[in-house]
Chain A
């Protein structure tokens, strides 16, 4: 197990380096050069040259690449052009709201999706199953941004129950700060609830039709016990795998939702920095959010390996 963990963590390093290189060269796709892009057409040549020197663009590409990769290790990612402060600190500030949003949404999706999928599969062909199937199919198609806006319109503008937008840290607002997260989390998680419900339902149905469930039932075990211990326990493992898949959707969704609700997270940072042509921030933020995504995926895989005794840890013997 330990060896598996170490191996997985070690493969993360080359992957991250490769991604850093890709992002670096993406930035070189900008027509012209970033400095003239940032300053716009009115800038004089001297100004552009000064910024180029400040951003290190006057050095050879190989040196720039090495500096960017070195910066990832030392944490010195350069200064934001717009805010005039180190990028590293800005990223850390913006990471927390995004992680909060993603975690809450994931937990909510897992609770509701698993419960609904379980009920739906056990009561297959009943009216409650039909309702759940219709709802989950519709939920899957709901664009998060649209739902977000509708929620704002209904709960924020008409009923005035919840703040229309904004964000408060837990330290400032305590539990009251959570009210800012209700609508964003709902908007982000609805589609994921739909997907998870559907998947859990179909996995559960698969398991329910397995022979060992039939055996357990035929030997006279109580119905509820068969469902929970024999069938559900085996479905639970796929909840872990599915959580990993949902992370991709949630992180993408967070970008849009943060922009609707003015939440100072990574997504908002990326989008505002794109508009401000603050490319150093953009490239670092994209790398960081991708890295976090990979890290969370790693956690999912480890959880999976811990939960399922059948998973081999990829030892050399096999």
Chain B
């Protein structure tokens, strides 16, 4: 299906390219950040990540510090985002929570890429390994993602390391799948055949010819995986089977605030909004990278109304 669509689009793209040859020389990153949504998303993510890293210095209170006299204080001067039922400062808990939530997700995505991409490359390149690896991923992917994580957590018990392990096991086969799919297409590409004809070594073909070309879709997928992992981590914490209750995490703040929802809206609104914004930012970033990495998309955006529409008869 893919190759059928390509020639049509690429021919129409060349028209756009000759019209504006200057654009192609711009660096991908620049093009990426010119999109205001991507820029805002990245800005939010960078800010959150920085806050998480600098938590001990910028958080106004320690995450477990209880001020019993100031229980359920609404957002205001003393506590910017209010306090919870134990008088803990919500802003500080959110900042420390970002450490857990983003840290766990980063670890999961990093590990999944580290293991999944090589697996996918091997699987896509060597027919014999493919059978074994793909049957294994089939097996793991037979579990719906959250259920798989839940099953592992149920038997491992709660703990930050266990969450990472559980979500890693959920993510790895999916990353491997994507890497394999890209490899399968690329190994048939003319430049790979040419490299083979020039007796390029296996390592050179895989790392110099296949991997760089597979990277763009993989990065897009990993970005979306990051978003999905944030949701999953928050979901597991919310259910009380993720990070242990004494580790602040966005999911935990949300689930603890649930009981006080009637009187303390901020305990529900704030952690949820943080998850929402993080996931939204990552999705926007992923879309942005896809658009930059896939030049076909430029062409499409630039020629509105190729379809003879009703109101464009002239």
Q: What string of 1s and 0s marks CB contacts (under 8 Å) between B153-167 and chain A?
A: 111110000000000
* Assembled-state Cα–Cα distance A275/B152 (Å): 14
Contact of B231 among A26, A124, A143 (CB under 8 A): A143
Q: A209–B147 contact, CB under 8 A?
A: no
Interface membership of B194, Cβ < 8 A: no
Annotate A233-249 by CB proximity to B: 1 below 8 A, 0 otherwise.
00000000000000111
Residues of B within 8 A of A286 (CB): 143, 147, 150-151, 154
Within 8 A of A (CB), among B293-309: 300, 304-309
How far is A279 from B151 in the complex, measured between Cα atoms in Å? 11
Docked Cα-Cα span, A227 to B154, in Å, equals 49
Using a CB–CB cutoff of 8 Å, the interface residues on chain A facing chain B are: 15, 18-19, 22-23, 26-27, 29-31, 124-125, 137-138, 140-143, 145-147, 149-150, 152-153, 157, 205-206, 208-211, 213-214, 217-218, 223, 247-249, 251-253, 255-256, 259-260, 270-271, 274-275, 279, 282, 286, 289-290, 293-294
Q: Could you name 15 residue pairs across A and B whose Cβ atoms are closer than 8 Å?
A: A31-B157, A141-B277, A143-B231, A146-B254, A149-B254, A150-B268, A153-B262, A205-B300, A209-B8, A251-B144, A256-B146, A270-B150, A274-B154, A293-B143, A294-B142
Query: Which residue of the partner chain A has the closest CB to B306?
Result: A209
Query: In whole angstroms, how far apart are the Cα atoms of A253 and B262 in the complex?
Result: 24
Whole-angstrom distance between the Cβ of A48 and the nearest chain B Cβ: 19
Asked whether B279 is an interface residue with its Cβ less than 8 Å from the other chain, the reply is yes
Expressed in whole angstroms, the minimum distance between the Cβ of B177 and any Cβ of chain A is: 13
Q: Are B275 and A143 in contact (CB under 8 A)?
A: yes
User: Which of A23, A26, A145, A153 interacts with B238 by CB under 8 Å?
Assistant: A145
Knowing A26-B155, A149-B258, A256-B239, say if A248 contacts B8 (CB, 8 Å): no
Across the interface, do A18 and B139 meet the contact criterion of CB distance under 8 Å? yes
A256, B235: Cβ atoms closer than 8 Å: yes
Closest residue of chain B to A19 (Cβ to Cβ) is: B142
- With contact pairs A143-B231, A146-B276 given, residues A247 and B144 touching in the complex (Cβ less than 8 Å): yes
The answer for the CA separation of A1 and B146 in the assembled complex, in Å, is 33
Q: Is the CB of A153 within 8 A of B308?
A: no
B276 touches A142 (CB 8 A): yes
Residues in A with CB closer than 8 Å to B268 are 146, 149-150, 153
In the bound complex, what is the Cα–Cα distance between A222 and B26 (angstroms)?
A: 43
Q: Do B156 and A252 touch across chains, with their CB atoms under 8 A apart?
A: no
Give B204 Cβ to nearest chain A Cβ, in Å.
36
CB atoms of B262 and A157 under 8 A apart: yes
**Cβ-closest chain B residue relative to A256:** B235
Q: For residue A16, which residue of chain B has the nearest CB?
A: B142
| A205 → chain B closest CB, angstroms | 8
In the complex the two chains form, what is the Cα distance from A125 to B312 in whole Å? 13
Chain B 118-146, CB within 8 Å of chain A: the 1/0 string?
00000000000000000000110011111
The answer to whether A146 and B144 touch (CB under 8 A), given A22-B139, A30-B155, A274-B241, is: no
Query: Which 9 A-B pairs rank lowest in CB-CB distance, beginning with the nearest?
Result: A252-B146, A146-B272, A141-B280, A141-B279, A248-B144, A251-B144, A26-B155, A223-B310, A286-B151
CB of B227, distance to nearest CB on chain A (Å): 7
Which of A22, A145, A270 has its CB near the most chain B CB atoms (within 10 A)?
Answer: A145
A15 with B142, Cβ < 8 A, contacts A141-B280, A150-B269 known: yes
Chain B neighbourhood of A145, CB < 8 A: 234-235, 238, 254, 272
- Whether B143 pairs with A19 at a CB distance below 8 angstroms is yes
- A152–B238 CA distance with the chains assembled, in angstroms: 16
> Is A140 in contact with B283, judged by CB distance below 8 angstroms?
yes
Q: Is B261 close to A, CB under 8 A? A: yes
Select from chain A the residue with minimum beta-carbon distance to B251: A145
Highest count of chain B CB atoms <10 Å: which of A19, A209, A249, A251? A209
Can you name 9 extra interface pairs (CB under 8 A) apart from A141-B227, A256-B238?
A: A15-B139, A150-B269, A208-B307, A214-B307, A223-B309, A223-B310, A255-B235, A274-B153, A289-B144
Closest to A158 in B: B262
For B195-224 the 0/1 string (1 means CB < 8 A from A) is 000000000000000000000000000000
Residues in B with CB closer than 8 Å to A223 are 309-310
Residues in chain B near residue A255, CB distance under 8 A: 146-147, 150, 235, 239
B279, A143: Cβ atoms under 8 Å? yes
CB distance from A273 to the nearest CB of B (A): 8
Residues of B within 8 A of A137 (CB): 280, 283-284, 287
B265 in the interface, Cβ–Cβ < 8 Å? yes
Residue in A15, A27, A153, A248 whose CB lies within 8 Å of B155: A27
Q: List A contacts of B144 (CB < 8 A).
A: 247-249, 251-252, 289-290, 293
Query: B77 contacts the other chain (Cβ, under 8 Å)?
Result: no
B5 within 8 A of A: yes
From A247, A253, A274, A293, name the one whose CB has the most chain B CB atoms within 10 angstroms: A274
Bound complex: CA A213 to CA B157 (Å): 56
Identity of the chain B residue whose Cβ is nearest the Cβ of A209 in the assembled complex: B306
A251 to B146, CA, bound (A): 8
In contact, B308 and A217 (Cβ under 8 angstroms)? yes
| Contact (Cβ within 8 A) B272 A141 | no
Would B145 and A252 count as touching, CB distance under 8 A? Answer: yes
Given contacts A15-B142, A153-B261, A206-B5, contact A251 B254 (CB under 8 A): no
Min distance, Cβ A303 to any Cβ of chain B, angstroms:
19
Residues of chain A with a CB closer than 8 A to B244's CB: none
Give Cα A29–Cα B254 distance, bound, in whole angstroms: 30
Which residues of B sit under 8 angstroms from A271, Cβ to Cβ? 150, 239-241
Residues from 146 to 194 in B contacting A, C-beta threshold 8 Å: 146-147, 150-157
Q: Which of B53-93 contact A (CB under 8 A)?
A: none
Q: B234: which A residues are within 8 A, CB to CB? A: 143, 145
Contacts of A274 in B (CB 8 A): 150, 153-154, 241
A218 pairs with B147, CB closer than 8 A: no
